[in-house]
A and B are shown apart, each in its own frame.
Chain A
Amino acid sequence: MSSADFLVHGLIKAFELIFSLNPYILSITGVSIKVSGTATILAALTAIPLSFALAFLNFRGKQAVITLINTGMGLPPVFVGLFIFVMLVPAGPLGFADIIFTPSAMILAQYILVTPIITGISLSAIKAVPKSIIETVYTLGGSRKDAIIAALSEARFGIITAILAGLGRALSEVGAILIVGGNIAETGSIGGIGEGLSKTRTLTTAITSETSKGGDFSTPIALGIILITLNLSVNLLANYFQRRD
């Protein structure tokens, strides 16, 4: 087999796997979306109020929180993975929760990775709302609450962009979820490839393990195509909202 044949063969088989809705591939995609989606939603629920508090309130320790967020935006995922792992192992301080190697542990890790990103980006979107907009709210008779709502409304596309950036980051992240999730699938083999249904195996972690198996690359290629498609959709959506602004 020539090297071109090898690639073409891998691609064709990869598309076959995708379009035949192979259950192994499907279950991995499902875990990815569930984990990253849930983590992003929880992170947004924390990050948006937090960014408003940082923009509008003065409280003690505010500077420390900002420093924490700036640091958090660039945290190496493997470090977060290691940290959560040490917390969650049976002997660790949060061992009683008994969630190590489950999707919950993965959600927790991605939540910690993504929250600073959404907070940082939406904070700068809120700060970009001109002071004159807020003063206009007040002169037209608005309350402080109205001013906050107006800022949210003016920054809405920026905040959506922040959430999508968080989702994109979560979907493509591998280091943290590999450590705390363990890349686990059921034993056996379904649809002639891989193993049983995914438990904590995601698109990214599966690509890592399936690639290192060697031999037939159609499975990791199929996973890669799905991952890229998801990421591309998220980016296109973000672009759309940026253009709406």
Chain B
Amino acid sequence: MVFGEKEVLKDINLQIMRGEIFALVGPSGSGKTTFLRLLNFFERPEKGNLEFNGMETSGIINIRRRMSLLFQTPAIFNKSVFENVAYGLKVRGIDKKTIEKKVSEALDIVGLSGLGNQKARTLSGGEAQRMAFARAIVYDPEILLLDEPTANLDPANVMKIEEIIKRIRKERETTILLATHNIPQVRRIADRVGILINGELIEVNTKNAIFKNPGDNRSEAFLKGEMIY
């Protein structure tokens, strides 16, 4: 993946298991966001094709509809909380009754029950982040791409979001790819970890293995918080 003259991602080969929480960690600017955007077809690689389950990606919308990307800074529609969360169901032509049921489930999961009628732009930062989370999971995506979902949140909201992530995986068996540079968070919720430094995926392993015995001294430095960047 190249922007101008800058190669932001280099030949990345990564397998993610169904139903796992995979943490993609790396310093700021290492290419985490770019990688998630690539998976969601917002960027195009200059070499090769994007395939999904072996399918060519000509029908992008059909593949996108099986996943969901929660942006680092979510954009909020100038509408009510309910309408924001309902959006993904609406564009899929789901009937009204089901929409109401699923939206209230999703709002319940993120702890925003009862706020459906509030204007979404008036939510607090933490509430807005949780609303965006509800919006991303309301249609049961198979794959959930989370881009630093807890950056800029207070500890209470960080805990809430982490609980939600674990709950979603448990209840819905959603595959979750979490980009973060929050190492304690990785310790708390990830199954496996990939370390991305300067666009290069230098190591992939289970959480326990990678923390106990990093296979690369750059990984070790980053995980210990010793990396200067």
B-contacting residues of A (Cβ < 8 Å)? 130, 132-133, 135-143, 146, 150, 153-154, 245
Contact = CB atoms under 8 A, between A and B. Distances in A.
Interface string B69-85: 10101110111000000
A154 to B, nearest CB: 6
B68 interface: yes
Chain A CB within 10 Å, residue with most, of B61, B74, B92: B61
B135 A140 contact: yes
Chain B CB within 10 Å, residue with most, of A141, A146, A150: A141
Nearest to B132: A136
Given A141-B64, A141-B139, A136 B75 contact: yes
A154 B65 contact: no
Given A141-B61, A143-B61, A135 B71 contact: yes
Nearest to B65: A141
B116 to A, nearest CB: 17
B40 interface: yes
A17 B69 CA distance: 65
Contacts of B65: 141
6 contacts: A136-B75, A139-B40, A140-B87, A141-B61, A141-B92, A153-B77
Closest 3 CB pairs of A and B: A132-B75, A140-B88, A141-B65
Interface in B80-104: 87-88, 91-92
Interface of B: 40-42, 61, 64-65, 68-69, 71, 73-75, 77-79, 87-88, 91-92, 135-136, 139
Contact of A138 (B64, B73, B79, B92): B64
B99 to A, nearest CB: 13
B91 A143 contact: yes
B74 A136 contact: yes
Given A138-B42, A143-B61, 9 more contacts: A138-B64, A139-B42, A139-B64, A140-B88, A140-B136, A141-B65, A142-B91, A153-B77, A153-B79
Contacts of A143: 61, 91
Nearest to B88: A140
Contacts of A140: 68, 87-88, 91, 135-136, 139
A140 B94 CA distance: 13
Contact of B75 (A130, A153, A245): A130
B41 to A, nearest CB: 8
B71 A136 contact: yes
A153 B71 contact: no
Nearest to B79: A153
A240 to B, nearest CB: 16
Given A140-B91, A141-B92, A150 B77 contact: yes
Contacts of A133: 75, 77
B53 to A, nearest CB: 17
Contacts of B136: 139-140
A137 to B, nearest CB: 8
B113 to A, nearest CB: 21
B12 to A, nearest CB: 20
Given A140-B87, A140-B91, A146-B91, A153 B78 contact: yes
A132 B77 contact: no
A197 B114 CA distance: 59
A140 B73 CA distance: 15
B78 A154 contact: yes
B152 to A, nearest CB: 16
A135 B60 CA distance: 13
Contacts of B92: 141
A133 B77 CA distance: 7
Contacts of B78: 153-154, 245
Chain A CB within 10 Å, residue with most, of B73, B87, B139: B87
Contacts of B75: 130, 132-133, 135-136
